Chains A and B, each alone.
Chain A
């Protein structure tokens, strides 16, 4: 018997009618075949003790793998040099200026600039705005590029095939080298800096 939740006899009769129909509800016989077939497809669950042993073995294996990985760190294979180092090796001259952050200084007064004192005493090299280096692969727009700032002796520029106005003047030139993904330079351009920055 189900309990009727209503005091009203009409509602009580309605509830009993509903409960009577509900008691007749039953799934079709094909559902039993489906359920039992699915249960048959499930592998029998392992006993708890056996499961514990499996978990313990898995945990031990994972621990051993972690220990071996930690031992092999750092990896024995040499770490590839950063792209800037490879570029410097190609150009043939050490330290990149960009490793030290450039400090912006106050601009000289307009009168000094007008007098051309900014570069006084420093041998000058005039480079085009951008120069494609010889033997360099053409720049692909999709290629990831990196700009490296270097300070090169003037002779290095001469070695690159550039004609110098004053070959025996000595001195250095700040350049930006566009380096490709393979570490080889693609382009080079002169950096025009103030006098203080040169020092």
Chain B
């Protein structure tokens, strides 16, 4: 399944203008892809400041290397995901830190002001459990789950981004989902059950 929030590849004319150094064309590319890049960086690092840095570095790298992009080899989004993935892995290697939960904390706070506070709170709690568990997965599993299950990339595109075979994507994704399911069931079970059945918690 494809993610509806994932934009299509830019047309060749726009790319050609950006390659030629047209700032407006590049700004348009930024507008179209910055959210995807930011979300992927956020899911990989678990930190908003880190995701902002990665977004910035990714677009600067894209601007420098745009002339090397070959549409016959991969889709533009795949190429961009590859850049972000490399930057994220490099950052994780450099800092060797686990996912922080500051992103989710702000989201929970924001969600509390929605018209249905209890429902939003429950959603935020669920999301918190998933994010925490996802952040504890090894990066090689996490990136596949984020790309395939969260961003909706196909196995073929994911294989190009991660630079492994499609069969390896399948097996690794299966293994990652198993770990995630097991961890989530074990760690987050009370919260998930409670949030999934609000009527059972009602007085």
Contacts and interface: CB of A to CB of B under 8 A. Distances in A.
Partners in one complex: yes
Interface of A: 1-6, 8-11, 13-15, 17-28, 31-32, 34-36, 38-40, 42, 44-45, 48
Interface string B108-146: 000100000000001110110111001000000000010
Given A22-B127, A31-B55, A40-B23, 19 more contacts: A1-B1, A1-B2, A2-B1, A2-B150, A5-B177, A10-B192, A11-B185, A13-B192, A13-B196, A14-B192, A14-B195, A17-B130, A18-B126, A23-B39, A25-B35, A26-B35, A35-B30, A35-B34, A42-B64
B74 to A, nearest CB: 20
B12 to A, nearest CB: 18
A5 to B, nearest CB: 5
Q: What class of interface size applies to chain B in its complex with A?
A: 35 or more
Interface string B1-39: 111110000000000000011010011001100110011
B3 A45 contact: no
A152 B160 CA distance: 83
B181 A27 contact: no
Given A1-B1, A1-B152, A39-B60, A31 B192 contact: no
Contacts of B134: 18
B43 interface: yes
Given A3-B152, A23-B39, A17 B59 contact: no
Which are the 8 A-B pairs with shortest beta-carbon distances?
Answer: A18-B130, A14-B126, A44-B21, A18-B127, A17-B123, A17-B126, A10-B196, A39-B63
Contacts of A27: 34-35, 38, 51-52, 55
Contact of B151 (A2, A10, A32): A2
B131 A18 contact: yes
Residue in B43, B148, B149 with the greatest tally of chain A CB atoms within 10 Å: B149
Given A22-B43, A31-B56, A38-B60, A3 B127 contact: no
Contacts of B177: 5-6
Contacts of A28: 52
A45 B38 contact: no
A50 B38 CA distance: 35
Nearest to A1: B1
Given A14-B188, A25-B103, A2 B3 contact: yes
Contacts of B23: 36, 39-40
Contacts of B181: 5-6, 8, 11
Nearest to A48: B67
A42 B60 contact: yes
